[in-house]
Amino acid sequence: MAPAMDDRPASPLIDVSPVLSPATAVWPGDTPLAIVWAERVERGGGSNLATLTLTPHLGAHVDAPLHLFAGGSDVAALDLATFIGPATVVDLAGAAAVDAPALARLDLRGVERLLLRTRSGPTPAVFSPHYAPLTLAAAELLVKARIRIIGIDAPSVDHAEAAELPVHRRLLGGGVVILEGLELGAAPAGRYELIALPLKLAGVEASPVRAILRPLG
């Protein structure tokens, strides 16, 4: 007999993806989520059938090299092993920016997936340019440390006014995949297993992900 719902053990998984809806904040100029119902049961349809329009940079999402480089790899070509495996969450909440000295104080030996918590509160309901980006020197340190994927709870690894996206360019050009827009408030600093698979979208530079963490002993 299956256990009663209240008797089931709590899930060890931590969902670090913000909820996506038409109200989810997007980068200025990006396409917000729009849901158009082609068919509804309550209107006499045989099923509920939705059509979605959205930027692939919505919520928690992966940036592939194609985001910045002509001929760069699209999200369909990214190595899935990058998005599954041990990850380290570090707490840098309150910092104006993630700089090289802050990262140099971390023990990154053996770390391939690094997730940066820069906020103490939830994802803002509206876009705000006031977040903690990475500095170019920090990006250089991550490339040299052979980080495979860098995740952050900010909307971008670059400053809001950085039109040329130099941090994106250094990371993606150096083989570091970028995971932005995470919701890390429920994930204390520590070691986890990360699962954050992008959609297999050919010819597209980014993809939303459902990112989760499982605590490791």
Q: Annotated catalytic residue: which of 67, 130, 159, 168?
A: 67
For the residues of the chain, what is the DSSP string, one character each?
A: -PPPGGGSPPP--EE-SPPPSTTS---TTSPPPEEEEEE-GGGT-SS-EEEEE--TTSSSEEEPGGGTSTT---GGGS-GGGGEEEEEEEE-TT-SSB-HHHHHTS--TT--EEEEE--SSPPPSS--S-S--B-HHHHHHHHHTT-SEEEESSS-SS-TT-TT-HHHHHHHHTT-EEEES---TT--SEEEEEE-PBP--TT-SEEEB--EEEE--
Does residue 67 carry a catalytic annotation?
A: yes
Which residues are the active-site residues? 67
